[in-house]
Chains A and B, each alone.
Chain A
Amino acid sequence: MHPATEKLVSLLKEKSFAVEACDYAQRGYHLEIDLEADRLRELAQCLLAEEMYLVFVGGLHVAPAIEVVYQFASYDRACRLVVRVAADGDNKVPTISDIYHGANWHERETRDFFGVDFVGHPNLIPLILAEEDVDLKPLLKADDDLKESAALRWVTVEEQPETEEKADKD
């Protein structure tokens, strides 16, 4: 691990963020944090101070609650950080658009596609979708397709369930 990344990890741990190192060779990012919505802004401020830029903000429709995925990365070394935040009951997540200005559009887009309400966003109007499609939320899954959040967590190739093998052969 790059020394600067190690420093970042210890800093985040100091602030009691649950940072976990990932296998970069398999997953393409180095660090992972599962976060409660109310600590998101604190984390974002911390990351901006550490000169991590925002790669993207994306939604993920899972049961029980929609998750918002943030990826941050560094300009001067290979260091990617994925943050997953579960929205609370009313699909609410605090905005980080005043900290990372680039998040403004990403959050509007996530609101378009998933209906996540970013609390405190100055201008949460449709960006990609047309104004009349404000309630379309195209990326929400149908009930049959919806999976549990826990069922989408990383498992290494060796631990993969064998069950699907049979289905493939049909």
Chain B
Amino acid sequence: MPPELLRMIIAAVLVVAFVFLNAMILGYMERKVSAHIQRRPGLMEVGPHGVLQLIIDGLKLIGKQLVVPEGSNRFLFRLAPLLSFAPCVLPFVVIPFSKKLQIVSMDISLIFILAMTSINVIAILVAGWASNNKYSLFGTFRSVAQAVSYEIPMLLSLLSIILMTSTFSLQGIIAAQKYYWFILVQPLAFIIYFVSGLAETNRAPFDIPEAESELTAGFHTEYSGMGFSFFFLAEYANMFTVCSIATVLFLGGWKGIPLPLGDFTGIVWFLLKVYGLLFVMIWARWTYPRVRFDQLMSFCWKYLIPFALANLLITAVVVKLI
């Protein structure tokens, strides 16, 4: 077996394992953080402070029956969770966890990640359509409109960084932040990116496609067992991806106070920053009410996109002048 192939297999296993692990950590974190925000202890039963709860939950979900609703398109209904899960794993291949901890180093890794994350919307479309449920369909419509709209300010805000660094390579962007983090020179772009990221991952206050109090659970209303958990995994993987892009582009990636074996242990700083951002996401979710759909759209088109464009123009002029 050629060593390159072996490396890829190991990497693939690691990536999938990390996606599951991430979902467990985030699931635990979300429930614990939300519990403390709401002044209750949260998970306490399984293991010390409930740390093993998510394993039990996982087993439970695996053991559940996969209910396919009557009148639904069976093939598409089963396909949708996989369609949602698979593209969410792929960005992990190019995320630079540390200077040397990157499975594939691509010159266009940023574009690759953005392309992969936007496939998710197709999975939601398929899931909502195949469910044969009006609430799911509502969720789908909302989700597609939302994801398509918010991709624009997201890309525009990232382009400002690209203009500054002239590279799509994530390692290159990190290297460009040698003296300062880009959040210091591009705070507006960071805010726009982070807000769009919340919307892209269907997180509150933009969780309109899932809106429990309106649509029960939106596009995954009809899913049970592993069908549901794939969406769940995909959501958390997506959140991780969005936050790692933010970390790489604005927060200096794996850079931090040097540690021994800095080429590998940069992962500590990287994960700290990513989970810090994820904490903010969770914090926002459990604090704010949900915005309405038309407000969400007008916020995107009337505020985010113009500001992102202005920011891009100013960046372009400044970069040209320097």
A and B touch in the complex (CB under 8 A): no
